[in-house]
Amino acid sequence: MNNSGDTVLAINEDNLYQLCLEIDGYTDKIAEIFNNIDNNFNELTEAYKSDSVNALVNSYNEFRKNYAIVKNNVSSYSEDLNELAVKFKSGVKRIALSLEEDSEYVKGQKNKAIL
């Protein structure tokens, strides 16, 4: 609410932009963590040659297929927030225009009633 008691709907675009940057940063951190895990598994297979290590690496490779999904899901949060802001602003503009048109209609009806 503002000082006059009216409800104000708004999106803090600066905060939203910062949040999207933060989410993008998390995506980068996730990619870095996944790369570190990949490197560790590569070192493991170079250092140890055994059926157990091969089984572990094979299991890891199955799990690794999910990396792209995780990164894409996190990235999509940022995109979704931006899309939400655009839709919110568009919706507010449409409502404001509709209210303005309704106000003009009501004024016209009031003038007809007075005549």
> Is there a domain that residue 49 lies in?
yes
Dihedral over alpha carbons 93, 94, 96, 97 (to 10 degrees): 110
> Is there a domain that residue 79 lies in?
yes
Instruction: Output the six-digit token pair for 90.
Output: 């568009």
Kindly report the CATH number assigned to the domain that includes residue 102.
Answer: 1.10.287.1060
Question: Residue 55's pLDDT is what?
Answer: 94
Confidence grade of residue 109 (pLDDT, cut at 50, 70, 90): confident
**pTM (2 d.p.):** 0.60
Question: Residue 93's pLDDT is what?
Answer: 83
Question: Residue 94's pLDDT is what?
Answer: 87
* CA–CA distance, 44 with 56 (Å, rounded to integer): 10
Q: What is the pLDDT of residues 45-58, one digit of tens each?
A: 889 889 999 999 99
pLDDT at 82 over 60: yes
18, 82 in Cβ contact below 8 A? no
Higher pLDDT, 8 or 70: 70
> Is there a domain that residue 3 lies in?
no
Domain span holding position 87: 13-114
DSSP-H helix ranges across 48-114: 51-64, 67-114
Q: How far apart are the first and last CA of the chain?
A: 39
